[in-house]
């Protein structure tokens, strides 16, 4: 796999190789080794795209601003909104003629996982369909696409591995997203995430902290830990660090002035998280705690694993913190706007 990338990078580094070619062929050569990546959806998707971009750049690809300038077009999709699949197929329709220009088109993310191989029937100009639980296999999948395979898939979401990259391309120079847990093991009746992102997999705490120290060395001052249910974090290493301990240790990393986390699940929001926030000023006094419904009957129908009174107990616990803390609950927005966040 490495060789196929190396060859292309060398060709790019040698512009003379395309001098004698016709303009169309020269344009194709120029686009080779370049990618355009468009992202839809949540912060998890945005950060996945940063990691995918880093992975491509570590292999010699260059990111470009338009699909026209790219040899590889990636579309990282979200299925949380209504009619998401129709929107994706509508966007793919815009790429219909591009495969004939030698471009390769890849569909990533939740719609890719949800629609699977049907995408090839509806949009035969797509070469790669890959869900987020298979991103760790992207180098080998891309190598197949580069080798000319037409219908390459990464749709296995029964995994215990996380998406680790040697390089991540971050757009913001101060605040870094850092995924600590992928997937979800809850089974809320209305949600596709357990199917599209696979089971819960937590990253090794040592790797998370090592990455955070590197970010601080690069000048980042703020980190946002990400996870579909970020506070369900379960360190797979022998250290078995709790989520609250991870927050506290992150807050101690020299240079890191703010530690945020999103999204928290009410069931797993425990007192030790509040205690860590009280003890470490660098942990921002802001909690995103989706309520979903104020009715226990509806919460049960949603299979949310907590009742109205249990949710309110969590709110009372947060309100009991020494630091005034802002609570964002989705429905109805901010529950309590207190001292400035962070
Ligand atoms: S906890 Fe969140 S991500 Fe998991 S199934 Fe429920 S709504 Fe979906």
CA 171, 107, 133, 194 torsion: positive or negative? positive
Q: Strand 326-328 relative to strand 334-336: parallel, antiparallel, unpaired?
A: antiparallel
Ligand 1: which atom is nearest the Cα of residue 194? 5
What's the pLDDT tens digit per position in 274-305?
A: 999 999 999 999 999 999 999 999 999 999 99
175-336: which CATH architecture?
2-Layer Sandwich (3.30)
| Distance from the alpha carbon of residue 304 to the mean position of ligand 1, in angstroms | 8
189 HSE (CA, 13 A, CB side): 9
Looking at ligand 1, which residue's alpha carbon is closest to its atom 8? 191
Mean pLDDT value of segment 26-38: 75
Do the domains at 2-154 and 175-336 have one common CATH topology? Answer: no
Ligand 1: which atom is nearest the Cα of residue 187? 5
| Distance from the alpha carbon of residue 193 to the mean position of ligand 1, in angstroms | 6
Tell me, what's the pLDDT at 16? 35
Cα distances from 79 to residues 30, 107, 277, in angstroms, run 34, 13, 33
| Distance from the alpha carbon of residue 266 to the mean position of ligand 1, in angstroms | 11
Tell me, what's the pLDDT at 339? 30
- Which of 152-166, 184-198, 266-280 shows the highest mean pLDDT? 266-280
For domain 2-154, the CATH class is alpha beta
Pocket test of ligand 1: the residue of 157, 182, 226, 229 to mutate, having most ligand atoms within 8 Å of its CB, is 229
| Distance from the alpha carbon of residue 214 to the mean position of ligand 1, in angstroms | 31
| Distance from the alpha carbon of residue 258 to the mean position of ligand 1, in angstroms | 26
Residue whose token pair is 């979903």: 292
Higher pLDDT, 339 or 299: 299
Tell me, what's the pLDDT at 99? 65
Tell me, what's the pLDDT at 28? 55
Tell me, what's the pLDDT at 91? 86
Segments making up each domain of the chain, as ranges: 2-154, 175-336
For residues 155 and 111, give the distance between their C-alpha atoms in angstroms, rounded to a whole number: 11
Token pair, residue 207, equals 């790797």
Which candidate, 293, 210, 294, 312, places its Cα nearest to that of 253? Answer: 210
Task: Tell me how long the chain is.
Answer: 342
Pocket test of ligand 1: the residue of 42, 186, 200, 226 to mutate, having most ligand atoms within 8 Å of its CB, is 186
């Amino acid at each position: 796999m490495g060789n196929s990338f190396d060859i292309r990078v060398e060709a790019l580094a040698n512009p003379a190789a395309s001098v004698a070619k016709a303009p169309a062929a020269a344009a194709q050569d120029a686009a080779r080794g370049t990618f355009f990546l468009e992202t839809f959806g949540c912060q998890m998707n945005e950060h996945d795209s940063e990691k995918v971009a880093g992975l491509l750049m570590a292999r010699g690809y260059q990111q470009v601003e338009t699909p026209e300038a790219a040899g590889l077009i990636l579309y990282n999709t979200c299925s949380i909104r209504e009619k998401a699949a129709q929107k994706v197929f509508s966007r793919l329709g815009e790429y219909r003629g591009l495969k004939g220009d030698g471009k390769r088109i890849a569909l990533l993310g939740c719609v890719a996982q949800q629609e699977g191989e049907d995408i090839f029937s509806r949009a035969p100009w797509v070469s790669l369909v890959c869900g987020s639980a298979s991103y760790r296999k992207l180098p080998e999948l891309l190598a197949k696409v580069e080798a000319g395979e037409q219908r390459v898939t990464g749709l296995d979401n029964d995994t215990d591995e996380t998406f680790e990259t040697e390089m991540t391309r971050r757009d913001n120079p101060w605040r870094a997203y850092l995924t600590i847990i992928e997937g979800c093991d809850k089974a809320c009746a209305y949600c596709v995430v357990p199917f599209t992102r696979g089971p819960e997999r937590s990253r090794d705490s040592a790797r998370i902290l090592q990455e955070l120290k590197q970010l601080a060395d690069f000048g980042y001052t703020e980190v946002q830990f990400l996870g579909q249910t970020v506070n369900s974090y379960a360190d797979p290493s022998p250290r078995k660090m709790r989520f609250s301990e991870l927050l506290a240790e992150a807050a101690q990393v020299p240079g890191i002035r703010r530690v945020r986390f999103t999204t928290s699940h009410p069931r797993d929001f425990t007192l030790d998280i509040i205690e860590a926030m009280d003890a470490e000023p660098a942990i921002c006094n802001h909690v995103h705690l989706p309520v979903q419904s104020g009715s226990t009957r509806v919460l049960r129908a949603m299979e949310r694993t907590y009742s109205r009174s249990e949710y309110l107990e969590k709110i009372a616990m947060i309100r009991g913190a020494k630091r005034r803390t802002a609570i964002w609950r989705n429905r109805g927005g901010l529950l309590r706007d207190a001292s400035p966040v962070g």
